[in-house]
Amino acid sequence: MSIKEILLDLWNNQTFRITVESGIKLAVAAILGGFIGYEREHSHRPAGFRTHILVAVGSALVMATSVYMFEIYKGQTNLDPARLGAQVISGIGFLGAGTILREGFSVKGLTTAASLWAVSCIGLAVGLGFYQGALIATVIIYLTLNLLKKVVSKGNTGKTLYIEVEDINEMAPEIGRIIRKCGANLHSLEILYADGEDSKFKKKSSLVLKALVYTKAGEGLDLIRDSISSLDGVKDLYID
C-alpha cells in the first residue's frame, strides 16, 4: 500500500479527520488572536498577548464543539449549532469589564475590552471554518488599533505633564480648566505616587497628577506650563 493510499484511508476515518481539522482551527485561532494581542501587549494594555490567544482559542473550541455535536447528532435531535457561540458573544463581557480600569480621573481599557470581544468573534468564525472572514476581520482590527490612533492624533503633539500638588481634589479641576483655556485637549488625568530616590520631584514620596495633553504642533505648551506652575498649590512640574 502506497503512502498516498495510507493517507487517504486516514482522511476517510472520521475521527482522524475531525482531529486534524480541529487542530488546524485552534492553531489558526491562536495565530490570529495572538496577532491582535501582540498590539495590545505592545501598547501596555491590561489584556495582552496571552489573554487574546486564550480568548480566540476558547471561542474557536466552543464553535468547533458546537459544529461537532451538530454533525454527530444530526437527525437524532434538534440542535442549533449557533447556540454555544451565542453564549460566548454575551459571556465575554465579564472579561472585557475586567480590563476597564478607572485610574484617577480617567477611564482606560474600553478599546481593549472591545478587542477581546472582537477576538472572540474571530475565534467563533475560525471554529465554524469561516477562515476568510476571520482573516479579513483580523487585518481590519489590527489596522484600527495600530494605525487609526495615529490618524486621530495627526497634527497634534502629545505631551505628558507630571505635576506635584498639595491637594488633588482642589488642584485637578483647576489644572484641567487651565489646559482647556489654553486651547489644548486634555486626553487623560491620572493620580500617581512618585516614590524612590530617583523621582523627578523634590520629595521622596510625592502626590502627582499625570496629564496627557495634546496641543497643535506644540503651540500653547509654554503657556500651560507657566500658568500651572504659578498656581499656589503646585509644588513642581515636569514635562516629558
Total domains in the chain come to 2
Whether 171 and 144 share a structural domain: no
Whether 11 and 79 share a structural domain: yes
Whether 54 and 112 share a structural domain: yes
For residue 98, the model assigns a pLDDT of: 66
Whether 146 and 162 share a structural domain: no
In the numeric block, which cell numbers belong to residue 61? 473550541
Smallest CA-to-CA distance from 24 within 12, 32, 14 is with: 32
Contact 189, 213 (CB under 8 A): no
pLDDT tens across 165-180, in order?
Answer: 888 778 888 888 888 8
Whether 110 and 162 share a structural domain: no
For residue 44, the model assigns a pLDDT of: 64
How would DSSP label each residue in 99-139? H-EEETTEEE-HHHHHHHHHHHHHHHHHHHT-HHHHHHHHH
- State how far the Cα of 196 lies from the Cα of 179, in Å rounded to an integer: 29
Residue range of the domain that includes 79:
3-151
Whether 202 and 101 share a structural domain: no
Whether 129 and 10 share a structural domain: yes
Contact 194, 206 (CB under 8 A): yes
Last residue of a domain, one of 94, 122, 151: 151
Last residue of a domain, one of 99, 119, 151: 151
Q: Residues in the chain with pLDDT < 50?
A: 103-105, 196-199, 202-204
Smallest CA-to-CA distance from 84 within 50, 112, 61, 115 is with: 61
